[in-house]
Structure 1
């Protein structure tokens, strides 16, 4: 189990994760992850425990690479670590795939920032080398896909679709970890955890409804995107939405009141019942709220 020893605060990033059972991995990966889980121990046992300490360990590793004398935008080798959950005696693994996710983040960076800012953050020579490595790696691993999707400063509304309000877990600050001298208590956590079968069913129902009643809406496209991603994994997997550092951004009161999953489900229920006005109000309310959260990235 990852020990809680850090002064690093989690970044304002949410993650959507898939944990696959060991049986889902082909050999030799299965044996490797089985040995890793046995040596490392679980990061979370049962459905109510967060993986906060392990997430902070991942963040420390990323910061160490960026703080090096020669910044490393990507690890030289793919990460051999994972989040490990144990539920009802079954071991589930969510590989970090830090290098693959780094490539995807680099592509997003180049899409969202002006070229001169990208050049300032990561010089062209470093980016060119990273792209060359990615092309070669993808040629050798054509079926590779990340088990983790990340979003900075907001939770995309499409990420709420796989979950129900009964999947909600709110852990107040320090409940699962005490700090040593000079160290912080474990941050508050808000996460949702559900079986893959249930997640796929919810997303498929939402997709059909949105295509029928709101064919031009972006949420329908988002449901399709999430559904396609979930289909890549074993049907007995677990799906987790972890608010990560956004829990700190929302604050204790905001975190206790945060019910976006339930509100979106209510909006879809209104749409299914033919109450388009109520469905639109729910969608616009959620969109406006998360835009206010997103706007905090500009705050000093």
Structure 2
């Protein structure tokens, strides 16, 4: 499918799970095996552009009419692993969260109530036929949720400044990749520490939710935390100096050791860094 445009959409970050082909039943496994051999696979920016293009018609298309047949593909120790986009499912789920993110007049202007109501009805009917459906991708806007960093370590951090802004140049990349087994182990250890030292709250609730989500996938999957479009809006110096996973690990370790001061310092660095990122949303 051709690209919608070359416009860069800067605001989304992603948590993805790549499962080995063996995790998929036929005929889906065969589809992904053939898809993985394609030389022209689209990028996450292509998916975002398509979603934004759907908002241009009148009335707008809140959720794609058909499910995406695209995926992200990688190899892990010679094994092909895929992360299906499932754009339609994720669109339905995101639609349910919009009311908490946009003022009602803005929401109604972007997606009229009738359009949202129809999409909700479609989702409910679809869920009755697919009760166990879950996405392979989680998305956040203008941030990377702190609980995502619990899954990875600073040693798994990959940062590439890219090769410039010209069309066709390699874009910047900031991501972490870790085996599913490691991600689950870190979630379990992090939860033990947080529950032993903190009251219940958003950080614990969010980590519990992510942990349950990870349990639904093949144990030999790959977990990827990708800054996605944020690398296009943050200066290279800030990206190079961003070691949020290390700060999260340091904070949890300090809590485990009973060092509240060190934990507070690590948390303060995280709050300052990500507040500055969210402030850019107001400036755009």
**Structure 1: runs of 5+ lacking an equivalent:** 44-52
Q: Which residue of 2 aligns with 1:47?
A: none
**Structure 2: runs of 5+ lacking an equivalent:** none
Distance 1:159 1:265 in 2: 11
Q: Which residue of 1 aligns with 2:225?
A: 241
Cα deviations by residue, 1:142-193 (Å, 9 ceiling, x for unpaired): 0000111111111110010100111100111228xx95xxx25232110001
Q: Which residue of 2 aligns with 1:62?
A: 51
How far did 1:59 drift?
Answer: 2.1
Q: Which residue of 2 aligns with 1:167?
A: 156
Distance 1:270 1:280 in 2: 9
Q: Which residue of 2 aligns with 1:261?
A: 245
How far did 1:96 drift?
Answer: 0.5
Distance 2:73 2:234 in 1: 27
Normalising to structure 1: TM-score of the pair?
0.88
Contact 1:4 1:186 in 2 (8 A): no
1:72 aligns with 2:72: no
Contact 2:247 2:269 in 1 (8 A): no
Distance 1:286 1:253 in 2: 16
1:111 aligns with 2:100: yes
Q: Which residue of 2 aligns with 1:204?
A: 188
Distance 1:70 1:124 in 2: 11
Normalising to structure 2: TM-score of the pair?
0.93
Contact 1:42 1:86 in 2 (8 A): no
Q: Which residue of 1 aligns with 2:132?
A: 143
Q: Which residue of 1 aligns with 2:79?
A: 90
How far did 1:37 drift?
Answer: 1.6
Once structures 1 and 2 are overlaid, which stretch shifts more, 253-262 or 242-251?
Answer: 242-251
CA root-mean-square deviation: 2.2
Distance 2:141 2:194 in 1: 26
1:157 aligns with 2:154: no
Q: Which residue of 2 aligns with 1:231?
A: 215
Contact 1:157 1:219 in 2 (8 A): yes
1:273 aligns with 2:257: yes
Distance 1:6 1:125 in 2: 29
Distance 1:298 1:215 in 2: 31
